[in-house]
Amino acid sequence: MKVLITGIDGYSGWPLALHLLARGHDVAGVDSLVTRKRVKEVGSWSATPIPPLPRRLAAVQEVLGKEIRFYRGDLSDWALVRHVLETERPESIVHLAEQRSAPYSMIDVHHAVATQVENLTGTLHLLFAMKEVVPEAHLVKMGTMGEYGTPNTDIPEGFFETEFRGRKDTLPFPRQAGSWYHWSKVFDSGDVMFASKIFRLRATDVMQGVIYGIRTPEITDDRLLTRFDFDETWGTALNRFIAQAVLGLPLTPYGKGEQKRGFIALEDSMQSLRLAVEHPAQPGEYRVFNQFDAAYSVNELAERVARVAADLGLHPTIDHPPDPRVEAEQHYYNPIHEHLPRLGYQRTRELDDVIREIFHDLIRYRRRLAARQYVLAPTVNWRLPDSRPLLGARNAAGAAPAPAPAEPTGPSSANSVA
Ligand code: USQ
């Protein structure tokens, strides 16, 4: 199948391209490379060294013997979006090109606005371009489980049956997002649902849980590694906890640590996106998949990381910094996730095995973590606007960091855990 991936240079976009190529799909991608810039903006870098895009593409050619057609540009550019769709005429579009960080969107008014304008504009451009150029194509849109928030009821897959004053209907389940980023995804979902109705587009909205992991089977060469963020803004909980353990820093479940989320391994997330691509929605159909394997509290994650770390001879402690976010620190959480298994989805990775795998890689790249250690502390506070005055220029204590050493691109020596 001809698949276009928007956001192909990102954490999920890159391994998805490799996964689809390995299964015989034809892959093209578009990306503005803005995540690379934004990670620099907060003073960080990927723990795994990511080659410049042309070298990444050359590595795909050399290692996998496959070609990815690449377009550099931003989905805010209507002419570019039309051009890519007219040139590629994809059968399926996996839309990942959005600002993906909740803390980044909470930094100040400018980051909130940039997040919402960018995410909504890109999606609207894609929807209109699909209508004009490839109305038969299927859109697989990356949403987020965080759109639902943490209601005190089970969470259905997008829609639920309800009765009010004696009348029944099937309606979208209420959304109660917890950041400007998560709200941008809610608004996007509304736009995709509406466009599928009026333009009769095929659409799947994937409510993605928190993804963890560093490797997929197609990553057989260091040049094919995906990015791995560990800073407060771009790194997600489990990935950050492992980076903290490698550096001998306390793990940081925020507040009481009983906030639960749905989690899925990177490799299984790729499997589920492929299944969505290979089983398109019907014309005019807007369907919603909840995409995660199991729910864990952040305390459980920290404890599991600490156990695996102990097996590796590390002895991390667990700290509970005050929660910088406005979120329930203890709550009911039981989302339903049945649609993907009906398409054949099966979990293949166990949490502890992936934690071990991430440790293995992060120990190799310990020097890169150590050189950016100051980005780990939480400084973006949901309650205080403009809580982080100078991105990338201050450490947690408010002092400017020492000038950054040159970026080490090779792994540290294998046993440099201390
Ligand atoms: N958390 C900690 N300690 C940390 C970092 C995070 O306790 O050091 C907590 C947060 O307070 C939150 C939970 O871990 O309760 C998850 O936070 P996260 O940073 O791992 O993930 P989140 O901000 O929710 O966003 C991530 C991705 C986003 C995706 C979302 C899926 O960055 O793109 O949409 O996961 S979900 O969480 O289901 O909405």
Mean pLDDT of 161-179: 98
pLDDT at 410: 59
Burial grade of 367 (CB within 10 A; 0-12, 13-18, 19 or more): middle
Please give the model's pTM, rounded to 2 decimal places. Answer: 0.94
Distance 261 CA to ligand 1 centre (A): 8
pLDDT exceeds cutoff 80 at 409: no
Residue 177 alpha carbon to ligand 1 centre in Å: 12
pLDDT of residue 402: 43
Write down the CATH number for the domain with range 2-390.
3.40.50.720
| Residues 367-402 pLDDT 10s | 999 999 999 999 999 987 665 544 444 433 333 444
Q: Is the pLDDT of residue 406 over 80?
A: no
| pLDDT(188) > 50 | yes
- Total Cβ atoms within 10 A of residue 263: 25
Residues classed as catalytic: 144, 181, 185
Contacts 24+ apart (CB under 8 A), 392-398: 392/40, 392/41, 392/42, 392/43, 392/44, 393/43
pLDDT of residue 408: 59
82: exposed, middle or buried (Cβ count in 10 Å: 0-12, 13-18, 19+): middle
* Domain locations along the chain: 2-390
CB-ligand 1 contact for 99 (6 Å cutoff): no
271-311: per-residue pLDDT in tens?
999 999 999 999 999 999 999 999 999 999 999 999 999 99
Pocket test for ligand 1, best of 119, 155, 210, 382 (most atoms within 8 A of CB): 210
Can you give the pLDDT at residue 258?
A: 97
Contact, 266 vs 14, CB < 8 A?
A: no
Region 127-143 average pLDDT: 98
Please give the DSSP secondary-structure letter assigned to residue 45.
Answer: -
Q: Which atom of ligand 1 is nearest to the CA of 211?
A: 35
- Give the distance (Å) from ligand 1 centre to CA of residue 236: 5
Ligand 1 pocket, 381 CB below 6 A? no
CB of residue 7 inside a 6 A radius of ligand 1: no
236 neighbors 208 (Cβ within 8 angstroms): no
